[in-house]
Structure 1
Amino acid sequence: MNTKYIWLLIILLGLTACNDIEDVSRLEAEVELPELTAGSADFSNYVAIGGSFTAGFTDNALFKAAQENSFPNILAQQFSKVGGGSFTQPLTSDNYGGLAAAGTRIPGFDPRLVFGGAGPVPLESVIGPVTVSTDIAINKPTGPFNNMGVTGAKSFHLLFDGYGNIANLATKTANPYFVRMASSPTATVLGDAMAQTPTFFTLSDIGGNDVLGYAISGGDGSNTITPNTGPPGVGFDQTFGYIVSTLTSGGAKGIITNVPYITDLPHFTTVPYNPLSPLNPAFGPQIPTLNGIFGQLNQVFTFLGVPERSIVFSTTAASPVVIRDETLVNISAQIEGVLNASPTFPAFVQSFGLPAQAAPLVANLFGLTYGQTRMANANDLLVLPSSSVIGTMNTDSVAFLMSQGLPQTLAGQFSAEGITLPLSDKWVLIPSEQQEIKAATDAYNITIASVANSNPNVALLDLNGILQEATAGGVVFDNFTLQTSLVTGGAIGLDGIHFTARGYAYMANKFLEKIDEAFGSNFIASGNVAKAGDYPTNYSATLQ
């Protein structure tokens, strides 16, 4: 690498009289930067292992432009200046995002999000239907790949020898992204990485998906947190230790990252707990009727000694949504019993246009619906997709209520998400679920720090600290301040979880800082870094 120079232009302004033209002179000063050196690191064969951050996932999809702006690819560009070799990635076939198998889209792997003027919207809502051409059964790329980032991979998935077998998609034990990357149906992520004999590696965001799946599903139990203890392939601690010891077994050096507090990300902080405005013409006029209906239920709550569960919508301020909280004592039977014993309840039922004889049915439905409910508060976190659900009619609920004998109109009135129908567990992280996520994250990070401290060939990058700083007030990247607020912050993409291209570039520079510190290179001092202005914070909907 030849010595680099920065030419600084110093402008001297002098005014000799009020009508005189400014006399501008420029002095050129030469500042010499040191020549780039790799220190003790060997970048000739760099392999990146990790999850979605490593892959370059952003805006809820993996697509070609995002992969080209992945932090490992940005690092490889700098490594190439000091002996780094070629860096291959399993590039997708288009910039739409999404995956297909034999011409059919894979559910849950949709095209990317774009900015719709007010917030994130699906790409196809802006440009119309697209053909997803990244097909895991038809156009599988040929490896090996230096970027072994697999979106959605948990720690133990890196050791699972069926994770890339397309036949396992039916049982959800395979990952479509790894299916198109794997060297064979029985390959493992770690095995394919080691087959390349890496001389340097990054191991990033391992542990993130181990808690993220639980978090984005609202802690509803459909995607559990990986236990910290257990043998390799089961518990995070031994799995992570095994991965790092394997990667360094041939003398390779590398950087590992810890796990951020994911609930600080905008996917969990953007939707307020109290989004129901009385100024909303679809909601405000209904408030008196709603308060009249819930007034009957609130009397029951008071009688049963749980007045804090009362549901009251404000006519002057934004109101919280109604949620189901599975940690509450289930008082469904008690609600039903009190209502059936009330002499005024049949008349209340008749106010809905139902016969008095329907009172036991309605009492039972009230008990089933509101036995574990309360209004949300500032300690609850609503996941980002809930914003498109709140206030809408739940058709499954309508069908159920109609099957119980309610007319369609009345069934619809009692099926408004977050209003008359409590938001289900998948839309809300209650405090106990948040604590589970934090406890697991803290345990993972203790393990990661211990592994880093016991292995001289690895250094730890504090990704958790970086994201906390960005969340607290922002981080400075050249002439920009990156924050984590959705859309406007610049650091986090439209899915509220993954970095923007500029965020990944900043992340790459933090890796370079840590490499300099740990292995004696001088990427930062020599000016061999990513520049913020070269990387966008938003991909156009017309990018194809």
Structure 2
Amino acid sequence: MKNKFIYLSVLAFVFAGCEPEFENELSDSNYSAGDADFSSYVAIGNSLTAGFMDGTMSRVGQQYSFPNLLAQQFAVVGGGEFTQPPFDADVDNLGGLLFNGNVIQPTRLIIDAGDGGPENIAGTPTIDITNQFAMAYNNMGVPGAKSFHLLAEGYGNIAGVPLGQANPYFARTATSPTATVLGDAMSKNPTFFTNWIGNNDVLAFATSGGTGVNQEGNMNPATYGSNDITDPTVFAGVYSQIINTLTSNGAKGVVATIPDVTSIPFFTTVPYNPLSASVIGDGDAAVGQATIQQLNQQLYGPLKQALTAFGQGSRINLLNPNGNNPLLITDETLSNLAPQLTAALTMAGFEPQLAAFLGNAYGRARQATASDLVLLSTRAAIGAAPQGAPAPFNLFGITYPLQDQHILIPSETSVVATATASFNQSIRQIAASKNLAVADMNQILNQLVSGLRTEDGQIYTADYFSTSTISTVLFSLDGIHPNARGYAVIANEVLKVINDHYNAKLPLVSAGNYPGATVLPSNAN
């Protein structure tokens, strides 16, 4: 079964080539740095600081990083040069990365006007990380970095990249194999900084569908997996060390809180109930009325009957041929009824091997509810065939349960929320101890759920791309990172905090003058 993609008009993106403009004339002599000194501005963080969008770093995308937008405004009041890791070799703006000629990260996502999308732009990346620069830059945002990675020696050791022991982005620029991100940042002698780190300490767990481990109580981050949640005490200690170092020479700065993952399109775009007899709305997957009737007779009905006999009939309901129906998922918090189901199916005449397969497949199965968050990446899996599953039990989300990596269930969402709240409390407390400004990005992104009105009167949302919201969406096609407009909104929020906390008068930018997604007539070399 093929999923229904969102189709967008090329005309809706004619603004994509617009050049960014300042909201205020920069010749206004009333602008002031206030109590801040922007002569050496350094930004540390992860992909949100680097300018990551549409699933990768690219030459043009990097230009819209919020630190780069800030630096342009700081220049009005004496801000110094602001440098970013070089992406000149990304000539065709494909994005992606190579390691010795081998692709280690794909190209950026675009919309193909003919086929829909999103999809990776055709072509081969031209940025090879083995072409090293060994130089510190003002933008020290490292995609993929967690808080403790900023202090880790060897995180930029090129030899560790194939082994998963080093970061390919930092390996391009690290000043030595043992350099740290924070150490290279401090070599720029910052007088002002922004620090937006910590998202990946919890986000990686969420975007993996909760396949990682909550490491609360484990004080050794060297033992953490890539999708694990950082222990809150470890996070607070690392964050305090970062801030102490950044302010050691008297620098002022802004720190940012961590957004609640439920506010971003990666978790809010794919509905929990997309299955219907025919396409009803965006995101629906047409199953067909005859198929629904057949499923009720041959799978959902017998399965519900068996589960009811075990006192768990509420896990499964018959499909409604006249409306939307929930996905079939695995919930690891449920008691495993695999032995009971296997025995019941065997007694019903199923061949023992098939009965065992079905018992294991449906032992913790249930239908999704509105409390479950279906990952954006799961959209492509719905209706696909899981490896080794026999027909007709080989349709993910329909006749075979989606797995842990596809769904964030309520217990996992709760763990994420608890960690996020703890991290944000530490961020605020540590910032207050140094009298630093705080940009509450958690609050700002939560406002996008209902609509955020900017200074120009436009209302922006956290919706994913559709024909009706195309000009008001602030997220890129990966559903996690902002687009250029989104980074402009972030820059504005930071500018407003600086103006308020440091008695500065800095010009804002107009988000409406920044581009959205890339639409191509066709996706071909």
Short-chain TM bin: 0.7 to 0.9
**Does 1:211 pair with 2:202?**
yes
Shift of 1:539: 3.0
Shift of 1:448: 0.6
Aligned partner of 2:480 among 471, 493, 497: 497
Aligned partner of 1:513 among 496, 505, 515: 496
Shift of 1:268: 0.2
Q: Name the SS of the counterpart of 2:70 in structure 1.
A: helix
TM-score calculated relative to the size of structure 2 = 0.86
Q: CA-to-partner distance for each residue in 1:211-238, whole Å, 9 max, x for gaps?
A: 1111110001261111101xxxxx1010
2:111 corresponding residue in structure 1:
115
Between the aligned partners of 1:5 and 1:397, the Cα distance in structure 2 is 57
Between the aligned partners of 1:112 and 1:437, the Cα distance in structure 2 is 28
Aligned partner of 2:329 among 323, 341, 362: 323
Structure 1 pair 245/173, CA: closer, same or farther in 2 (3 Å)? same
Q: Is the 8 A contact 2:23 2:510 kept in 1?
A: no
Q: CA-to-partner distance for each residue in 1:110-149, whole Å, 9 max, x for gaps?
A: 111112458642233xxxx312101101x33452210000
Q: Name the SS of the counterpart of 1:47 in structure 2.
A: strand
Between the aligned partners of 2:339 and 2:288, the Cα distance in structure 1 is 30
Q: Name the SS of the counterpart of 1:134 in structure 2.
A: coil
Aligned AA for 2:51? G
Q: Is the 8 A contact 1:39 1:519 kept in 2?
A: yes
Shift of 1:479: 4.6
Aligned partner of 1:227 among 218, 228, 231: 231
Moved more, 68-77 or 160-169: 160-169
Between the aligned partners of 1:189 and 1:209, the Cα distance in structure 2 is 16
Q: Is the 8 A contact 2:475 2:482 kept in 1?
A: yes
Between the aligned partners of 1:307 and 1:477, the Cα distance in structure 2 is 52
Between the aligned partners of 1:437 and 1:314, the Cα distance in structure 2 is 33
Q: Is the 8 A contact 1:76 1:84 kept in 2?
A: yes
Q: Which has the higher contact order (CA 8 A, sep 6+)?
A: 2
2:416 corresponding residue in structure 1:
437
Between the aligned partners of 1:120 and 1:437, the Cα distance in structure 2 is 29
Between the aligned partners of 1:196 and 1:455, the Cα distance in structure 2 is 21
Aligned AA for 1:323? I
Aligned AA for 1:112? R
1:465 corresponding residue in structure 2:
443
1:270 corresponding residue in structure 2:
269
Q: Name the SS of the counterpart of 1:290 in structure 2.
A: helix
Q: Name the SS of the counterpart of 2:107 in structure 1.
A: coil
Between the aligned partners of 1:382 and 1:541, the Cα distance in structure 2 is 28
1:18 corresponding residue in structure 2:
none
Between the aligned partners of 1:502 and 1:249, the Cα distance in structure 2 is 34
Between the aligned partners of 2:455 and 2:392, the Cα distance in structure 1 is 50
Between the aligned partners of 2:75 and 2:425, the Cα distance in structure 1 is 33
**Does 1:64 pair with 2:59?**
yes
1:99 corresponding residue in structure 2:
97
Q: Is the 8 A contact 1:162 1:187 kept in 2?
A: yes
Aligned AA for 1:179? A
**Does 1:535 pair with 2:518?**
no
Q: Name the SS of the counterpart of 2:160 in structure 1.
A: helix
**Does 1:161 pair with 2:139?**
no
Q: Is the 8 A contact 1:480 1:532 kept in 2?
A: no
Structure 1 pair 6/48, CA: closer, same or farther in 2 (3 Å)? closer
2:173 corresponding residue in structure 1:
181
TM-score calculated relative to the size of structure 1 = 0.83
Moved more, 291-300 or 462-471: 291-300
Shift of 1:36: 1.4
Q: Name the SS of the counterpart of 1:444 in structure 2.
A: helix
2:18 corresponding residue in structure 1:
none
1:12 corresponding residue in structure 2:
none
Q: Is the 8 A contact 2:331 2:365 kept in 1?
A: yes
Q: Is the 8 A contact 1:202 1:254 kept in 2?
A: yes
1:85 corresponding residue in structure 2:
80
**Does 1:386 pair with 2:378?**
yes
2:253 corresponding residue in structure 1:
254
1:143 corresponding residue in structure 2:
135
Q: Name the SS of the counterpart of 1:183 in structure 2.
A: coil
Between the aligned partners of 1:507 and 1:269, the Cα distance in structure 2 is 20
**Does 1:287 pair with 2:292?**
yes
Between the aligned partners of 1:45 and 1:273, the Cα distance in structure 2 is 48
User: Within 5 Å, which residues of 2 pair with 1:336-351?
Assistant: 336-340=342-346, 342=347, 345-346=348-349, 349=350
Structure 1 pair 515/119, CA: closer, same or farther in 2 (3 Å)? farther
Aligned partner of 1:415 among 394, 408, 411: 394
Q: Is the 8 A contact 2:484 2:515 kept in 1?
A: yes
Q: Identity rate of aligned residues, in percent?
A: 43
Q: CA-to-partner distance for each residue in 1:292-343, whole Å, 9 max, x for gaps?
A: 2222222210111101122422211111110000000011111112233x3x
Aligned partner of 1:486 among 446, 464, 485: 464
Q: CA-to-partner distance for each residue in 1:403-450, whole Å, 9 max, x for gaps?
A: xxxxxxxx1321111111100000100000000000000000110110
2:4 corresponding residue in structure 1:
none
**Does 1:449 pair with 2:428?**
yes
Report the number of matched residues: 472
Between the aligned partners of 2:23 and 2:455, the Cα distance in structure 1 is 21
Shift of 1:84: 1.2
Aligned partner of 1:333 among 312, 329, 339: 339
Structure 2: gaps spanning 5 or more residues: 1-21, 213-224, 280-285
Q: Name the SS of the counterpart of 2:454 in structure 1.
A: strand
Larger Cα Rg: Structure 1 or Structure 2? 1
1:29 corresponding residue in structure 2:
none
Structure 1 pair 208/119, CA: closer, same or farther in 2 (3 Å)? farther
Aligned partner of 2:124 among 126, 131, 151: 131
**Does 1:362 pair with 2:367?**
no
Q: Is the 8 A contact 2:263 2:448 kept in 1?
A: no
Q: Name the SS of the counterpart of 1:256 in structure 2.
A: strand
